[in-house]
Chains A and B, each alone.
Chain A
Amino acid sequence: MSLCSLIELIIFLRGKNVVSRFKKSVLLTMMLILLVGLLVACGGDEGTTDEDGNWTGTITIWDGPRWPDADDNKYHWLEEKKAEFEDMHEGVTIEIVQVPWAELPDKLGVNIAGESWPDIAPVDISGSAVSSEHIEQGVIEEVDFLSDDDLSDFYDNALEAYTFEDKLYGIPNSITVHSMLLNLDLFEERGVEPPADGKWTWDEFLETAEALTFDRDGDGEIDVYGFSTYILEGYYEAWPFFYKDGGQPMNDDATEFTFNSPEAVKAIQDLADLKLVHDVAPMAHGGAEVGETFQAWANEEQRTVAMQPWATWAIQSAQDAYPTNFMVAEYPVGDLGEPLTIGGVGGWLMFKQESEAKKKVVAEFMQFISDTDEQYRMAVEYGVFPARISAADMDPYADNPQMARAQEMSEQVVMVPSHPQWKQIDEIIQGKLQVVFNGEKTAQEAMDEAAEEIERILD
């Protein structure tokens, strides 16, 4: 019975003199009891621990949609693992909360603020709701339960991404890289040779982009552009270009903004000039439209751009959802002399636990879903690179040359700077980059302005 119905009933009975002898305090007490009951009903369940220290109860795990099964269920993998784990651990229930990937950071952030976090969640530590401040405040549990043998099975850069002050705060599960995707049909149409083994210099890239920009129907309007990408906070497809001449956004210990260095400024201006000077990129180049940019490359009805940089997911998308004849190439090499790309590391985080007994079971489940077999399966089915060396050694992309080529680029990965205020810094940089790409400011002007604003944050 709802609170409103109860009050209405009391008033009705009062009118009929049924409860006229009831004191007001009794009515008030009843209402309070109901209210407290409602609030208690919203509380969580911490489970129970027996005399031997064995914990039973519910573990909550959040996850986003992964690859579909025959019934188009994109959570079937975790549901299978849940069933297996529950069979092995009587009294333990795994509760799966399905959260779309796009909503996960916001939802997790709100739940952290409300101290109602899940036990486990998949978090890309390089750009998520979780920051080093949360680690400092004890929201994230340290991963101190992996053996040395187990730890040595992970790639170093994957472990580094989840390491804070020499302690590990997550189990790396996957690595993603950004790579250049080249539409080979358009190369063929223009008689342009793609770069051998996907390696090229900036000059070769520019030459290729010029050759791929053309007016197909002779109406005086360009129908296909050589290249385009977008600029948006939290997204780094364009950024490997900015590193090509040796520039980087911050110095190594993230205490100084360095994207206004001559090397970075030149690289930023070079990429913007593809549209502003060379006319080999459309007006959308450097805008904030993610979906439209991808559609322009992948959608069969468009295909108005020949080359775009994308994260790993786009390779699978171009193989399945948008079948495209394409190849994977590296980012062009500039004055630095070697190719670079930006990567991300996904993994499982354990949130603060009330008891050591529960933490032990949660840890067991985390290991259960991130062992070598699961990472191999994730690589084959879901299109992410394993964070475990043993899973990569199983050669998950033996039948997938494009993914295999992208995986080779894992060695070129640099991570975005790790700083507690990175989101604010990133917002300033990306905002200034946008005005460079729409021609309102030069790269030097924009990055000098960014430096001024970022210095205030760093101070």
Chain B
Amino acid sequence: MDGSEALKEEIQPNRKENKKVHEPNKRNIWQEMKKNYASYLFLTPKLILFTMFIAIPVIWALVLSFQEYRVTESNIFVGLQNYIASFESTMFKKALWNTFRFTIVTVPFNIISALIIASLIFPLGKLSQNFFRSAFYLPTVTSMVIIAMVWRWMYNYDFGLFNHILGWAGIESVNWLGQSNSALWALIIMQCLIPFGVGIIMYLASMGAISKNLYEAATIDGAGPIKQWLYITIPLLKPTTLYLVILSTIGSFQVFTQIIMMTGGGPDGATETLVHLIYKTGFRDFDFGLAAAQSVILFGIILIFSVIQFRMLRHDD
């Protein structure tokens, strides 16, 4: 068997065998549950908590999105009025566009940078690998509130780090967070420069699971490190990439802490994002029906993006 056949074998495992493994179980599902009732009983506490704190609120939000919330009286059914109001709102459109811009830049940047960093760390010795792994993961365990406060200082007009550096180059200071044309970009730059720790760790773990045989076979066939990276590493990391892209997209669409800590959505809505707007609609204006409709729209957007990404990046394509 030459190298390319080995590669084919590794990438495309025996489909027949696979099919056999996943053959549907024809036994009655209830009988199966009865047999394993102890497992289900163990799951019950978590299921109760999930139902109480996730499932019921989600369903309640969906119901609420068709209602006008009243405190001491019954809610009023308003049909699609909250959805129409959302799409007619200038601020909602602005928030949608800002969130989209934030996501479209930060997600690819974070994923690609995580892949490159992981690829650079992976060949290192165990000690160095552990050091860099910890160093890049550190921001993930640090509160975003703290990170945002540090970045606020770095963006300060009078004594911030960035304007200090611009000053050395003789460039005029920039009002990073105060100008509507620079504020969102300041937040995007911040998000891009914070290492995507989870991505790096997951890529490193996935790289470790790739068989060395593939690289040996590719070397025998004359492929250099770049080609090996492009044709072995990246394709085999596709499931991880898919997971990280979806995870990162959801995170970007839900960006909130940076906004509330650094700009509050201003100036003039230049950094308003969907989740921050939902928060304001719900907890400042107490228009829970409208906030629920905005949440459902956000859910729909994330779902559509996730399905598209899943279809584009799924492993068996």
Contacts and interface: CB of A to CB of B under 8 A. Distances in A.
Contacts of A423: 284-285
Nearest to B89: A456
Contact of A115 (B38, B71, B264, B286): B71
A11 B42 contact: yes
B175 A283 contact: yes
A207 interface: no
A137 B38 contact: no
A113 B71 contact: yes
A134 B267 CA distance: 30
Contacts of B72: 115, 137-139, 352
B213 interface: no
Contacts of A134: 71
B42 to A, nearest CB: 7
B69 A113 contact: yes
Contact of B268 (A14, A129, A424, A431): A431
Interface string A9-32: 011001000000000000000010
Interface in B36-53: 38, 41-42, 44-45, 48
A288 B267 contact: yes
Nearest to B88: A456
A131 B175 CA distance: 36
B288 interface: yes
Interface in A110-140: 110, 112-113, 115, 129, 131, 133-134, 137-139
B231 interface: no
B140 interface: no
A139 B158 contact: no
Given A3-B48, A284-B158, A137 B266 contact: no
A453 interface: yes
Prevailing SS type, chain B contact patch: loop
Contact of A431 (B44, B157, B266, B286): B266
A109 interface: yes
A267 B226 CA distance: 64
A4 interface: yes
B178 A287 contact: yes
Interface residues of B, number: 33
Contact of B286 (A31, A113, A453): A113
Contact of A109 (B38, B269, B286): B286
B285 to A, nearest CB: 6
Contacts of A163: none
B90 interface: yes
B45 A3 contact: yes
A283 B42 CA distance: 60
B77 interface: no
Contacts of B130: none
B264 A113 contact: no
Interface residues of A, number: 42
A283 B157 contact: yes
A35 B44 CA distance: 13
Contacts of B285: 421, 423-424
A11 B180 contact: no
A106 B283 contact: yes
Interface in A289-319: none
A226 to B, nearest CB: 17
A440 B73 contact: no
Contacts of A206: none
Interface in B229-256: none
A421 B286 CA distance: 11
A231 B267 CA distance: 10
A414 interface: no
Nearest to B181: A440
B314 interface: no
A453 B90 contact: yes
A14 B266 CA distance: 60
Given A10-B41, A288-B266, A440-B181, 14 more contacts: A3-B45, A7-B42, A8-B42, A113-B286, A137-B73, A138-B71, A138-B73, A283-B157, A287-B178, A423-B285, A431-B267, A434-B178, A440-B180, A456-B88
25 contacts: A7-B42, A11-B41, A106-B283, A112-B286, A113-B286, A113-B288, A115-B71, A139-B72, A232-B264, A282-B158, A283-B175, A288-B264, A352-B72, A421-B285, A423-B284, A423-B285, A424-B285, A431-B267, A431-B268, A434-B178, A435-B267, A435-B268, A440-B180, A440-B181, A453-B90
8 closest pairs, A vs B, by CB? A431-B268, A434-B267, A4-B45, A283-B157, A435-B268, A138-B72, A137-B71, A287-B178
